[in-house]
Each structure stands twice: as structure tokens, then as C-alpha cells.
Amino acid sequence: MHRLTAILSLAFLAGCLAPDRIAYGPKVATVAGIDGFRDIRTYADVGREQADQRPWLPVTKNKEINYLALSSGGGAGAFSVGALKAWSAAGTRPQFDIVSGVSTGALIAPYAFLGSAYDKTLTDLYTSGVAETLVDADFLPKGLFGASLLKQQPLRTMVERYLTRDVLAKIAAEHRKGRRLLILTSNLDSQRAVIWNMGAIADSGRPDALKLFQDVIIASASIPGVYPAVLIKARSGERAFEEMHSDGGAVSQILTIPEGWMAGPDKDEWRKGRRFNMYILINNALMPEFSTTTNNTFVVMARANSTLIKSQTRSALLATYLYAQKNGIRFHVGSIDMQVPYKMADPFNTHYMRVLYSLGYAKMASGHLWQDKPLFTENLAAAQPSGQEQ
């Protein structure tokens, strides 16, 4: 009873300390846009009735369309980075026509989009130890009474350091060629998944394009409660207000085919006569991972959340797989297939991230990464991967 009272008191105090926001309603939210930008975002539950699909669909003369989807997973994003590095080393990595990212996948996606030349940047981000600066242990007790457990500034500093105007210009150039970079955030006000057309933002020519680009990446990577949500200025008619955007993983762990498209009629005229290859990198384990759970409030909550994420990922993969089977899409998924020791209090531990980087590299290099269907129960034994190229 005392613990429940304490939790309720903390929630009340946090609410008292939260800054006021400009109120707006659901009708206003539905038609809201970002001042000066066009065709830069849509809701995932909107179908093909969207007025102009051209800025969202890849334009290519090739017979193949290659789509890379990068999942959420925090520090485990190192798994995808290792896989991409080995793919480059093998000389078989395609130039992706579409790249999407959610949460940690949003941090990786711009560089995966630009290609192998940025493998070193990604490797530094996920294995050099720079990620450990994202956790400020001294702020944790104070965070209980504020907007989040951790401060946003270390994450923003890292994003601003790596996502520069030069990177933005290169993404804009690729967008003009017909390639597409998509990032998912959660609009916490509307409880809807928002897909952002990052190439269109980069190619807008607006002086505030870099700031919006960075804000979207930071929002998608901001784990709810751990990092503060990002307030993005929006407008509906004469009304100006701020939308609250957070971790894309709150609405979906992966961005493949938007749910509105899956539920709509099959009219994919744009890919007739082309082979569609979909590659999905999951920065999580899909199989059950046994662990004796301590009977502690926060440990139980964290364990339940981990189970929910695993279940959500499986459901999204199954929906994508069934859609792919129905529409002739060549489905490939790669995921972590062994238990790797992990401490919730140290989510960006450098050793942990290097182990997962090595695992991703080894699986890709050995030709054992891709599966042509979701598998959820193989390789249940805990093990440590051997060291690979760093």
C-alpha cells in the first residue's frame, strides 16, 4: 500500500511540474501540417486514397525494388550495424530504394540509406562507447519528478553532431533520384503512427529543414518516459500549436507496409513487372528468452514491457509476411537468435553493443542471417557469440 501511494504521489508531482501546452482538438489534429512543408508526412492508418503518392513511392528503372526496414531495439541496434558492415564487405549489399527506421532504427536509417560509405560512422556510433554518454546517472532521481528519467540534451547533441547539413544535402540528392527514406514517430496526442518523408524534408530547401529532420529522428529514438517527448510546431488554418511526438516503437516496432495500405485494395501499379525484395533487420530476439524474474514492481513492469515488445514485433512481422505472400514480395528477416546478458540500468553498455555488433556481422558473413519466414522458437539456448570484425 505504501509503495502504491508513493507511485501515485510521484505521478501527481510530475503532473504538477509539467509545463502547460496549447490545447487543440482531434479535428484540428487530423488536418494539421508543418508550416512551409508539403508531402513530408502521413498517418500510417491512411490508405491509398492519399491525394499524391508520388513523393512517397520509389522511382526506379531497375527491375528490382529493394526495401530495408530497421527495427527498434535501443543499444541492440548494434546488431543491424554489424550486419550492414558485413553485407558491405561481401560486396552484395544493394542500393536500397526505400529505407525505413523506428527508434534506434531511425538513428541508423539515414546512414544505411546513404550506403556503405557511412559504415564507419555507424560503427563508431554503436561500438566506440559514445552511446554511454546518453545515460546521465546523476539525473535519474531528479527525472522521477520531471518529463523523463534522462535528459534529452545528450541525445540531441549526438544527433546534431552526426546529422549535419552535408548529410542532409546528400539525402536530398538521393530523394530527387527517386529513393525514399521514411521514419516513424508516435503522435502521443492523437495516438497515431506518423510516417515522415525524410528525403522530402531534406529536399525542401527551407532553412529550418535540418532542425525538423533532427527533431523527427530524436522523437523516434526517444523511449517513452526514459527520454522526453519532442514537441513539434504544427499549424491548422490560423491555429498554431505543438504536437507531442515520441518513440515510433510505441505504435510499431517496424515500418514495412503501412497498415492503411495492408487493409486497402490491392492496386500496386507502381511495382508491376518488378521484383520487390523486402529486408527486415530486427534488433531484438524473436524467440522466448527465459529469465527468473525478481518479484519487484519495476522489474516486473520492465519484464512485462519486454514481453509486450516481443509480441508486438511478432505480430507486425506476421502481418507483413502474409501481405508479402499475397502480393509476391520476397520476404527476408534477420534477428538476434541467442540470449545476450543485458542490464536494464545500463542500456548502452559498450561491451553489450559490441557483442551484438559481432553477432550481426558473423551471421551476415556466414550467410545465416536471412530467413524467408518469421521463426519464433529456434535456438533457445543462451550463448555468447564469438568475437568478429570490429
Specify whether the CB–CB gap between 176 and 202 falls below 8 A.
Answer: no
- Cα–Cα distance measured from residue 318 to residue 311, given in angstroms and rounded to the nearest whole number: 11
d(CA 235, CA 24): 10
Q: Tell me, what's the pLDDT at 15?
A: 46
What pLDDT is recorded for position 38? 86
Query: pLDDT value at position 118?
Result: 97
Q: How far is CA 269 from the centre of its chain?
A: 28
> Which pLDDT belongs to residue 188?
94
Name the residue with cell 508479402. 324
Q: With b meaning 16 or more CB within 10 Å and e meaning fewer, what string describes 265-287?
A: eeebeebeebebbbbbbbbbbbb
As to burial, measured by CB atoms within 10 angstroms (0-12 exposed, 13-18 middle, 19+ buried), residue 192 is middle
pLDDT at 386: 39
Whether the Cβ atoms of residue 304 and residue 314 lie closer than 8 Å to each other: no
Cβ atoms 203, 176 nearer than 8 A: yes
Distance, in Å, from the CA atom of 132 to the CA atom of 155, rounded to the nearest integer, reads 10
Grid cell 554511454 is found at 132
What radius of gyration, in Å, describes the C-alpha atoms of the chain?
21
Please tell me the distance from the alpha carbon of residue 347 to that of residue 140, in angstroms, as a whole number: 14
pLDDT of residue 6: 39
pTM recorded for the entire structure: 0.87
Q: Rounded to 5 degrees, what angle do the CA atoms 11, 218, 340 make?
A: 80
- 3-class SS string, the chain: CHHHHHHHHHHHHHHHHCCCCCCCCHHHHHCCECCCCCCCEEECCCCCCCCCCCCCCCCCCCCEEEEEEECCCHHHHHHHHHHHHHHHHHCCCCCCCEEEEECHHHHHHHHHHHCHHHHHHHHHHHHCCHHHHHCCHHHHHHHCCCCCCCCCHHHHHHHHHHCCHHHHHHHHHHHHCCCEEEEEEEECCCCEEEEEEHHHHHCCCCCCHHHHHHHHHHHHHCCECCECCEEEEEEECCEEEEEEEECHHHCCCCCCCCHHHHCCCCCCHHHCCCEEEEEEEEEEECCCCCCCCCCCHHHHHHHHHHHHHHHHHHHHHHHHHHHHHHHCCEEEEEEECCCCCCCCCCCCCHHHHHHHHHHHHHHHHCCCCCECCCCCCCCCCCCCCCCCCC
The whole-number pLDDT of residue 145 equals 39
pLDDT at residue 19, rounded to an integer: 59
What whole-number percentage of the chain has pLDDT above 70? Answer: 83
Question: Which parts of the chain register pLDDT below 50?
Answer: 1-16, 138-146, 148, 380-390
User: How far is C-alpha 283 from the chain's CA centre?
Assistant: 10
Rounded CA gap, 101 and 182, in Å?
A: 7
pLDDT of residue 65: 93
* Class of residue 251 by CB neighbours under 10 A (exposed 0-12, middle 13-18, buried 19+): buried
Q: Are 198 and 213 in contact (CB under 8 A)?
A: yes
Q: What pLDDT does residue 1 have? A: 40
Nearest to 335 by CA among 26, 122, 57, 69: 69
